[in-house]
Amino acid sequence: AIMDLFGSLFELYPFADEKYGHAQFGWGGGMEHTTMSFMGNFSRGLIAHELAHQWFGDKITCGSWKDIWLNESFATYLTELVTENFDGDVAFKNWRNEIVDSNSWRCVTNSPNGSVFVTDTTSVGRIFDGRLSYRKGAMVLHMLRYKLGDVDFFQAIKNYLADPNLVYGYAKTEDLIQHFEAQSGEDLTEFFNDWFIGEGHPSFDLTYSQETTENLRIRINQTQSNASVSFFETPLPILITEVGGTTQLIRLEVTENNQLFILNYVNDVVSIEIDPDYHIISKNNSVTLGTISTILDADIKLLPNPVKDVLEIQVTNAIDLKDVIIYNSLGQKVRQVSSKIEQISLKDLSVGVYVIEIYTTQGKIIKKIIKK
């Protein structure tokens, strides 16, 4: 049944003119050889893992120890494709939960460091590191599947397995990337730089506000567990729960810090959850209900502050200015600009503290400045 599954997902067993068998041996675990795997036990997981190597390891072998994931991450992920297809979505999700965000020793985010790419090929322990070369690499494959969709993901792998320059020979990661890019039409340079070469994982901080039922504002920031990656770009699934319990799962393309998403959302939102189904490698994510001021604050800056003559209002591309009103410490209106002017002369104002109300198409924010 497992061989039939792999055949339907990828291609016919690569050595169909020969038999496939198991040889029991006394070591723990297993070791595949072409057409014959040595087995320390006969658990379904081990059977699936060693059989997967007939495609990923034997038909096409990693061309360098740096690329061991082409063997081991694939065999690990194919084992969980057996879980998905034989046990269902809940069991498959439970595996992702354990791998991504749990207290299990199998969790890949238990350490802030480590890349799938092997940097030290003199260390056998690093080459065959279960956390990185097996489980993290398997999740990177799943993230690629989530990013590209099932059709392009599986077809790209079929194309990889049929490449005449690779079959019954050797491949490196660049060969696999080429097939994923050719099939999907996407540039995956950033993805592999972040998730394959880069170390560690992100933590997402989401703040949202819905002061009217017309717009849902979501601000996303990210911290990284390792300095090797400045920002992990990813499609990020979020689950929105409305009054009454109705839920909607949407996907946001997160590419930079302080990214603002403004969604036309007519229903009242009661909560938001980040990646409820564990499709993305991340940990310690947080969600905060904010106000329009907290959402807009990072998009609007007043410079310089303190200011002497001219105040500049800097806004991001996500913001459109409407009106700017300035009040003195007595609450008296001393200046109003009803346009998109982003520089205001304050030469004639007295020294002191002033309150500025800034009205935008996305809402109002209040800030203070000091006139010197």
Give 296-338 pLDDT, tens digit per residue: 777 788 889 999 999 988 887 767 788 898 988 888 889 988 7
| 210 and 99 within one domain | no
- Cα-Cα-Cα-Cα dihedral sign, residues 5, 10, 14, 16: positive
Torsion-angle region of 363 (φ positive above 0: left; ψ -120 to 50: alpha; else: beta): left
Interatomic CA distance for residues 232 and 235, integer angstroms:
10
Q: Tokens standing for 146?
A: 């989530």
DSSP H or E segment with residue 367: strand 363-371
Domain end among 148, 181, 197:
197
Nearest to 74, CA basis, from 32, 29, 112? 32
- Residue 212: what pLDDT? 65
Is the pLDDT score of 108 beyond 70?
Answer: yes
- Residue 36: what pLDDT? 95
340 pLDDT band, cuts 50/70/90, is: low
Is the pLDDT score of 188 beyond 90?
Answer: yes
| 235 and 144 within one domain | no
Distant-in-sequence, close-in-space partners of 277: CB < 8 Å, separation ≥ 6: 93, 96, 237
| 219 and 142 within one domain | no
| 39 and 100 within one domain | yes
- Residue 28: what pLDDT? 81
The domain tally of the chain equals 3
Is the pLDDT score of 136 beyond 80?
Answer: yes
| 324 and 262 within one domain | no
- Residue 214: what pLDDT? 64
Question: What CATH number is attached to the domain comprising 344?
Answer: 2.60.40.3080
Interatomic CA distance for residues 263 and 251, integer angstroms:
12
- Residue 339: what pLDDT? 64
How confident is the model over 31-57, as a mean pLDDT? 95
- Residue 266: what pLDDT? 75
Share of the chain above pLDDT 90, in %: 73
Phi, then psi, of 173 in degrees rounded to 5: -60, -35
Domain end among 246, 273, 290:
290
Question: Which residues share a beta bridge with 260?
Answer: 219
CB count in 10 Å sphere of residue 248: 12
CA angle 75, 78, 83 (to 5 degrees): 135
Q: 60-62 and 169-171 as β-strands: parallel, antiparallel, unpaired?
A: parallel
Q: Please answer whether residues 208 and 176 qualify as being in contact, where contact means their C-beta atoms are separated by less than 8 angstroms.
A: no
| 211 and 273 within one domain | yes
- Residues for the chain: how many in total? 372
| 123 and 236 within one domain | no
Nearest to 53, CA basis, from 102, 13, 25, 5? 13
* pLDDT higher at 338 or 65: 65
* pLDDT higher at 214 or 193: 193
**Most confidently predicted of 256-265, 294-303, 359-368:** 256-265
- Cα-Cα-Cα-Cα dihedral sign, residues 133, 135, 136, 141: positive
- Residue 47: what pLDDT? 96
How confident is the model over 220-225, as a mean pLDDT? 96
Question: What CATH number is attached to the domain comprising 206?
Answer: 2.60.40.1910
pTM: 0.82
**Exposed, middle or buried, 75 (CB in 10 Å: 0-12/13-18/19+)?**
buried
Share of the chain above pLDDT 70, in %: 97
Looking at every residue in the chain, the average pLDDT score rounds to 92
| 302 and 263 within one domain | no
292 pLDDT band, cuts 50/70/90, is: low
- Residue 315: what pLDDT? 83
Domain end among 161, 178, 197:
197
- Residue 213: what pLDDT? 61
258 pLDDT band, cuts 50/70/90, is: confident
Q: Please answer whether residues 36 and 116 qualify as being in contact, where contact means their C-beta atoms are separated by less than 8 angstroms.
A: no
Interatomic CA distance for residues 97 and 282, integer angstroms:
11
Interatomic CA distance for residues 364 and 356, integer angstroms:
10
Angle at which helix 150-161 crosses helix 137-148, to 10 degrees, equals 120
Structural domain of residue 68, as residue ranges?
2-197
Is the pLDDT score of 158 beyond 80?
Answer: yes
| 47 and 109 within one domain | yes
| 118 and 38 within one domain | yes
Nearest to 160, CA basis, from 145, 148, 177? 177
- Residue 306: what pLDDT? 93
How confident is the model over 174-191, as a mean pLDDT? 98
- Cα-Cα-Cα-Cα dihedral sign, residues 331, 333, 339, 341: negative
